[in-house]
Amino acid sequence: MTEKLSEKEIEDFDVEQTDHYPVMPLRNTVLFPQQVIPIYIGRDRSLKLINDLGTDKRYIVVIAQEDGSIEDPSPNDLYSYGTLAQVLKVFDMPDNSKSAIVQGISRVKVLDYTSKEPYFTAAVESMNDEPIKDHLEIDGLIKNLRQAFEDLMKVAPNLTEEHSGMLKNIQKPNRLTDRAISVITISNQEKQDILEELNIKRRIEKALNIISREIQRIKLGDEIQSEVHDEITKTQREYYLREQMKAIKKELGEDEGTVELNELEDKIKAAQMPKESEKIALKELDRLSRIPTQSPEYNVSRTYIEWLTDLPWSISSEDRIDLKEAKKILDEDHYGLDKVKERIIEYLAVRNLK
């Protein structure tokens, strides 16, 4: 196992001691300087890279893929900025893959890929942070960053007091910002943007914006979840009460559905329909008895049966055809329409002859 570098050793590390480094693409991870993380190694190129590392000075450059879904990335699929890292320990996995613990050392920019087989190697340039011009302004921003992280920790389920305590022990603005962003669940693209930002003031401001947005997103999500839960609870309560009411009515012989079906059956019999019409009405009533009362189709079927029973099947009156009376009524109730009235009178006259 390679010894972990101290903060002082990382700051004094000279990238130019080596002309080129092996490059390991990472699917969904961005490594920051001084961060220690485990990485899964399963692709052929990455396995060959790890197997070729010696026992001393096990340095590699880890670079995030722009698209993590690409199985065999080319140099064009990788970001131009990455992190020089030291491989601390390698573990063999049961499926012939490997897992490694790596420690970030410094930001680097790829100048040129010097080899692509059996794995990528590249010449890199160390990218140092720009000097701080206004320390007082940076101190204020850092204070805001610490407070924002504390606020995020109260609502983010994946953050604990351990993360908060870890940040309290970090005093340098650049390292504090990197560590805060590294533990937040955000997209690789946003983390990469922080990695590539060499101006410490802008890096802190970007981190503040990300944390503030995450707080709002989580709070909004909790509010929506709470509203949905309340609505589900209300619906379940109403359903439970309805079922209880049904059971009570059924026990008393006052089941609402049964009472309504009986009433409709009595109306069908009282309507004195023709046998064919009554047969259709009873068939529809039988179908209605099998439809749940909460279903929209229940109301449609019931309305149809009620319409059938409301028709005047057995009610009739004698025709009284008085042409003079009919003309008088038409003239009193309708202004104009002379041709229409004339046709109506002609029709009644023909009926009168029959």
273-286 pLDDT, tens digit per residue, is 888 888 888 888 88
Please report the pLDDT score of residue 81 as a whole number. 92
3-state secondary structure of 312: coil
* 139-158 residue pLDDT tens: 898 888 888 888 888 887 77
Residue whose structure tokens are 């920019």: 109
Confidence of residue 11 (pLDDT cuts 50, 70, 90): low
Give the residues across from 115 on adjacent strands. 121
Task: Give me the half-sphere count of Cα atoms (radius 13 Å) on the Cβ side of residue 166.
Answer: 18
Burial class (CB in 10 A: 0-12, 13-18, 19+), 40: middle
Please give the CATH number for the structural domain made up of 135-221.
1.20.58.1480
* 186-241 residue pLDDT tens: 888 888 898 888 998 899 899 899 888 888 888 887 777 777 777 777 777 777 77
The answer to whether the CB of 35 falls within 8 A of the CB of 174 is: no
| Terminal CA-CA length for the chain | 117
| In the chain, where the domains are located | 7-126, 135-221, 256-310, 323-353
Domain 7-126 matches domain 135-221 at the CATH topology level: no
* 41-53 residue pLDDT tens: 888 888 888 888 8
Express as a percent the part of the chain with pLDDT over 70.
88
**Bigger pLDDT: 39 vs 5:** 39
Give kind and range of the element (H or E) at residue 150: helix 135-155
- The rounded distance, in Å, linking the Cα atoms of 82 and 30 is 8
**Bigger pLDDT: 130 vs 322:** 130
Give kind and range of the element (H or E) at residue 313: none
Whether the predicted pLDDT of 16 surpasses 60: no
- The rounded distance, in Å, linking the Cα atoms of 24 and 18 is 17
Please give the CATH number for the structural domain made up of 7-126.
2.30.130.40
Cis peptide before 118 (omega within 30 of 0): yes
Residue whose structure tokens are 């994946």: 158
* 70-125 residue pLDDT tens: 888 888 989 999 999 888 888 888 888 888 888 888 899 988 888 888 888 888 88
